[in-house]
Amino acid sequence: MRNDDGYRLVLASASPARLALLRTAGFDPSVQVSGVDESVVDSTDASELCLALARMKARAVASTLPPDPDVLVLGCDSVLAFDGQILGKPANAADAVRRWVAMRGRSGVLHTGHHLTDLSGKQAEEVGATVVHFADLSDAEVEAYVATGEPLHVAGAFTIDGLGGAFVERIEGDHGNVVGLSLPLFRRLLQTFGVSVPELWKKTPA
């Protein structure tokens, strides 16, 4: 939906958590999923990987849109760096259980790549990194959490804004970044386009 100032935000992500976060913060983005093949991107560096995927998603969506100087496309992608590995979504329930058995009582770094582009080709990007300290779950808690299905659909096999929130002892950094989108980081990206956050807030009748 175009706001009164003309700017329109398109979120190139299927994540309901990212959409909810933006809406809670006053934005009203439309959603267009890129459908890109994430397996074509390979990197052993968590920051490089999540940023490359965010860039690919945003550019793929931008390439399908008709010319419009007031459209901005935001792509995001998250991965967890843990114990020398890069963890995206688990392959299956057994994989999620293995991860949680390894992660419990320890910590990892959640990296979220953000890429913002307009339709003329101007781009800005940045990675947010937040240290996540996991609770020391019992075997029964691990099994019960994985059985809910939630860990199967998210990077690192956990959420902080859902059922998994009880299993995150604390974080060092931006909470939103762990959800999947850092609002302060997004503000910095908007500034490179000369756009302020209030210009993208959803307008309501007076």
Rounded to 10 degrees, what is the CA torsion of 87, 93, 98, 103?
60
| Active site annotation includes 42 | no
Q: How, if at all, do strands 85-87 and 107-118 pair?
A: unpaired
SS3 27: strand
Given the residues 77, 83, 95, 161, select the one marked as catalytic.
Answer: 77
**What is the identity of the amino acid at 191?**
Q
Give the separation between CA 97 and CA 66, rounded to whole angstroms. 44
> Three-class SS string for 69-83?
CCEEEEEEEEEEEEC
Q: Where are the beta strands (DSSP E) in 83-152?
A: 85-87, 107-118, 123-134
Q: Which residues contact 80 (CB under 8 A, 6 or more apart)?
A: 46, 86, 87, 88, 108, 109, 110, 111, 132, 155, 156, 158
CB 89 within 8 A of CB 155: yes
Q: Residue 46: which H helix or E strand, with range?
A: helix 46-62
So which residues are the catalytic ones?
Answer: 77
